[in-house]
Amino acid sequence: MGMTIVEKILARAAGLPKVAPGDLVVVNVDTTVLYDSNFFPVYWREVLKVADPKKIVVVFDHRVPAPDRSCAQAQIVGREFVTRFHIERFHDIGFDQGIAHVIVADRAYALPGSVLVCSDSHTGSAGAFNCAARGIGGPDIIYAAITGKTWFQICPTVRYDLVGKLKAGVMTKDVFLSVAETYGDHANHNIEFGGFALGDLSLDARRTLSTMGTELNAEFSTFEADDALLDYVRERNPAPFAPQYPDADADYQDRRTIDLDMIEPLVALPDGVIRNSVPVGRVAGEPIQQAFIGSCANGNMDDLAMAARVVAGRRVAPGVRFLVTPGSQAIYRQALKAGYIETLMEAGAVVTNATCGACGGGHMGVLGANETCITASTRNFKGRMGDPTARIYMASPATVAASAVAGVITHPGEFLGGGTAS
């Protein structure tokens, strides 16, 4: 049997003709991404050498600008590391900053066919770039920076063929929720996305899916490469690369077709996403105090454009805090030029600087006791965004924006000129 995309990338990186599920392989890492959390005393050890500073990227994203002295100190340690090893690809607070996974996409650091690691769990985001990318641990990332290598155990792959076209107001976040509802947990499995619908899905839309692979409990989530991807990368990164395509007889453990026409807006109920979603109508009318759009999954241009479209000419409901966090300062500027930021702010949204912020409950939007939030971000575990008694619903940016305006969970169709059926 042949190999899947991620097997081909890892075989190449390991210098092996073939890898198969169960193999433990040591691979050469093409890109190692560090972020501010890596430099806290509990995670960091003074590094005495690095394998190749050109293969390292440092981004400050989790808690920026520093909300307290411990974060400020970690950023100082990070800057010293950057200076000591002459790391050029450094995204400090300012013009070039953003959420690490979004920067990796904005700048096309994730080269098709390459291996990228970062110690954040949503590193699989770069899988949309035909990249074998995943989160590894803090010590793992130090090991990778020092030696240029890491290890992976090869898991079986489930292939998703996307066909059809999403209806107006339906987003790939809804596709993710549908997969989590239909197929549940993907523990110890890789996910591969491809199919005829790919051409209709923007890279932003694909990145929502690859990022959320983590929330399916999957290992690697990897997309097939197409011309749209390859052109995007070539425009932004002069480095050579070799995309990997699955073998015709690739050994998939399962192959599933998703008809995008059939997807409806969904909402995950509080505390988890695995087999925990319902059509929006089932929870419509549930009052909220906070609505959030942001994170590595939903802080993209597509997401901001959709949110602006939903709230245009309307006002956020009294008693609701509507927080919008662009994924990078570059996206922020782009959305500003496109008029989305003005539309959102006229509606009463609070637009923050690019940071992980409210998604992780770290700062800028922490939930209090018994509050209810609807979020277009990565995770809705109990306690994730603040107090453990807070209830966190998860949905697409369209549904979150509609809910912010209504003050209760609401189907986006009501604000997009479509039907309200759900």
Q: Which residues bind other proteins (CB under 8 A)?
A: 24, 37, 40-43, 45-49, 67-71, 73, 119-121, 134-140, 142-143, 146-147, 153, 155, 185, 187-188, 217, 219, 272, 274, 360-362, 379, 381-384, 386, 388
Nearer to other proteins, 20 or 168 (CB): 20
Shortest distance, CB of residue 40 to other proteins, whole angstroms? 6
Query: Smaller CB distance to other proteins: residue 2 or 137?
Result: 137
- Of residues 91 and 189, the one with the C-beta less far from other proteins: 189
Q: In the bound complex, what is the minimum distance in angstroms from residue 385's beta carbon to other proteins?
A: 8
- Closer residue to other proteins in complex, CB, 221/329: 221
Q: Among residues 146 and 338, whose Cβ is nearest to other proteins?
A: 146
- Contact yes or no for 416/172 (Cβ under 8 A): no
Peptide bond into 112 cis (omega under 30): no
Give the DSSP per-residue string, 124-144. Answer: GGGGGGT-EEEE--HHHHHHH
Compute the distance between CA of residue 25 and CA of residue 230 in angstroms, rounded to an integer.
Answer: 28
What DSSP string runs through 270-318? Answer: TT--TT-EEEHHHHTT-B-SEEEE-HHHH-SHHHHHHHHHHHTT--PPT
Output the smallest distance, CB 161 to other proteins, in A.
24
Exposure string for 47-77, b = 16+ CB within 10 A, e = fewer: eeebbeeebbbbbbbbbbebeeeebeebbeb
- Least Å distance, CB 382 to other proteins, is 6
User: Least distance from C-beta 123 to other proteins, angstroms?
Assistant: 9
Smallest distance, other proteins to C-beta of residue 367, A: 11
d(CA 106, CA 61): 14
Phi, psi of 379 (to 5 degrees): -150, 140
Rounded Cα distance, 394 and 400, in Å: 8
β-strands 266-268, 277-279 pairing: antiparallel
End-to-end CA distance of the chain: 43
- Backbone phi and psi for residue 252, each to the nearest 5 degrees, phi listed first: -90, 140
Angle at 23 between CA 19 and CA 27, to 5 degrees: 70
Nearest approach, Cβ of residue 38 and other proteins (Å): 10
- For other proteins, the closer of residues 67 and 418 by Cβ is 67
Q: Pick the closer one to other proteins by CB: 134 or 321.
A: 134
The nearer residue to other proteins, 183 or 381, going by C-beta atoms, is 381
Provide, rounded to whole angstroms, the least separation between the CB of residue 372 and other proteins: 17
Strands 350-351 and 321-324: parallel
